[in-house]
Amino acid sequence: MLDAIVQKLHAGERLSFDDGLALFRHPDVVSVGRLANEGRERRHGDRTYFNRNMRIETTNVCVASCLFCSFAKLEEGAPGAHTMRVEDAWRELEERMDDPPGEIHIVNGLHPGLPFSYYEELLAGFKRIKPDVHMKCFTAVEIHFFATHYGMTYREVLERLRSAGLDSLPGGGAEIFHPAVRTRIAHDKATADEWLEVHRIAHRLGMSTNATMLYGHIETFEHRVDHLLRLRALQDETGGFQAFIPLAFHPDGNGMRNLPAPTAIDALRTIAVSRLLLDNVPHVKAYWVSMTPEVAQIALCFGADDIDGTIVHETIYRAAGTRSPGALTAQQIVRLIQEAGRIPVERGSLYNVLREHPRASVPEAAVNVRDRKATKHLEVLS
């Protein structure tokens, strides 16, 4: 069943909708993973990227009512609703200036009561504290909301935010593009076309962005392939996506709490098929918060070449019941990557290499002159 796909891949041909579907449906996830790994190694060898980043969610007040969301509280004043003062948000960076993150990643609810200047001030303040920090902020859904709420075009919103300090857009809010799913789980926010248009304009403005897909709820494999191909088409046009990040649905405390979360095998399969279908997107990220650090490590052999970053501190998945920790140290991430047999590369937000770490060192116990394994290697060298 995979033979035709293997031939296409080896001939450098692009995979079709049906190929994508066949890969999702193939019973043997290990064989699909092996194919994706070839694609990953062709692009990146053993190099595996991570960064030191920091996540802040400054408000969870949100006018949208997405079924999958356990984070947003609809109205200001509702129990658990909170909105940070910009000074409090800045303090989180100030407190970490002894070991500062290279990137700040902000994703918020769609707050109806804040002035646009709140966001401009927020960005500008971080840049005042650390001028070279990379601000990866506001999903296309938020940009779309700003445009309609404050009466601007996407371009105007993006340009004003960029003047205030915005560097790139995260990939969130894509969920599932197909209207059969989107109208049921996220009916009152940016549509697929609007989401894609925001990214199109960002790319035209020279901004890099990421893309995501929220999988494992009510969507079918056809919807996933459709989603990936829409991203591939935009990438053909603009080339502005840096990384694709599949996000596993987590059911706790949201409108789809009766559904089970997708399993690890689904997570690995989705990483692998994404790598194979998105032939024009440079990076596929195993977001460890969504899939647990353990499965993320396996994903580094199933097509992913990036494992996100130190995160400190994520709250959206925490609210939906992931058992992943809120943060990992850089050392823990380096070890996770080394244990997968890969080379950890600490990157900047635009995949500029900051530091390449060694491959896992050979544990001392294994180095023994009389160890046949060791002598075998010596023979090969001599």
Partner 1 sequence: MIGQGERLRAAAVGYLNARPLYEGLDREPASSRLRLECGSPSEVARRVAEGEADFALMPVAAAATIGDLRVVRGCAIGARGAVRSISIVAERPIDTIDELAVDLSSRTSVVLARLVLRARSRGREPRLLGATARDAIATVSGARAALIIGDPALEIEGRFPHVLDLGLAWWELTGLPFVFAAWCGPKGVLSSGDESLLTAAKAVGLERRDALADEHAARTGLTSASLRSYLREAIRYDLGDDERRGLERFYDDAASAGLLPRARVRFFDDDRRNGATLPGLDAILSRAAEGERLSAAEGERLADEASLFDLGLAADAVRKRKHPHSVVTYIVDRNVNYTNVCTTSCRFCAFYRPPGHPEGYVLTREQLAKKLKEVVDAGGVQILLQGGLHPGLRIEWYEDLFRWIKREFSLGLHALSPEEILHIARIESLGVRAVLERLHAAGLDSVPGGGAEILVDRVRRKIAKAKCTSDEWLGVMRTAHHMGLRSSATMMYGTVDTAHDRIAHLIKIRDLQDETGGFTAFFCWDFQHEKGTNIEPGDNGTVLYLRQQATARIMLDNVDHVGASWVTQGPEVGQVALRFGADDFGSVMFEENVVSSAGTTFCMNADAIERNIRAAGFKAVRRNVRYDWLTVPA
Rounded to whole angstroms, how far apart are CA atoms 370 and 376? 10
Whole-number minimum distance, CB 379 to partner 1, in Å? 8
- Residue 143 or 261: the one with the smaller Cβ distance to partner 1 is 261
83 is a site residue for partner 1 (CB under 8 A): no
Pick one of 22, 24, 33, 49: the residue that binds partner 1 (CB under 8 A).
33
Distance of CA 108 to the CA centre of its chain: 16
320 is a site residue for partner 1 (CB under 8 A): no
353 is a site residue for partner 1 (CB under 8 A): no
34 is a site residue for partner 1 (CB under 8 A): yes
Helix or strand or coil: residue 315?
A: coil
29 is a site residue for partner 1 (CB under 8 A): yes
1 is a site residue for partner 1 (CB under 8 A): no
Largest interatomic CA distance in the chain: 75
329 is a site residue for partner 1 (CB under 8 A): no
DSSP letter (8 states) at residue 327: -
Rounded to whole angstroms, how far apart are CA atoms 52 and 365? 32
Whole-number minimum distance, CB 192 to partner 1, in Å? 27
Strand order in the sheet with 134-137: 53-56, 103-106, 134-137
- Among 164, 72, 67, residue whose Cα is nearest residue 110: 72
Query: Cα separations (Å) of 319 from 75, 185, 213, 289?
Result: 17, 18, 19, 12
> Per CB under 8 A, which region of 26-34, 112-120, 123-131, 140-148 contacts partner 1?
26-34
Whole-number minimum distance, CB 291 to partner 1, in Å? 8
Whole-number minimum distance, CB 37 to partner 1, in Å? 7
Helix or strand or coil: residue 83?
A: strand
Q: Applying CB under 8 A, what is the total number of residues that bind partner 1?
A: 39
294 is a site residue for partner 1 (CB under 8 A): yes
373 is a site residue for partner 1 (CB under 8 A): yes
Question: Are the CB atoms for 292 and 263 separated by under 8 Å?
Answer: no
Torsion of CA 103, 135, 72, 59, to 10 degrees: 110
Pick one of 6, 205, 233, 366: the residue that binds partner 1 (CB under 8 A).
366
- Positions 214 through 273 that interact with partner 1 (CB under 8 A): 260, 262-268
User: How far apart are the two ends of the chain, measured CA to CA in Å?
Assistant: 44
Burial (CB < 10 A; 0-12, 13-18, 19+), residue 243, is buried
Whole-number minimum distance, CB 2 to partner 1, in Å? 12
**Residues of the shown chain interacting with partner 1 in the complex, contacts defined by CB under 8 A:** 27-31, 33-34, 37, 260, 262-268, 291-292, 294-295, 297-298, 300-301, 323, 335-336, 339-341, 363, 365-366, 368, 370-373, 375
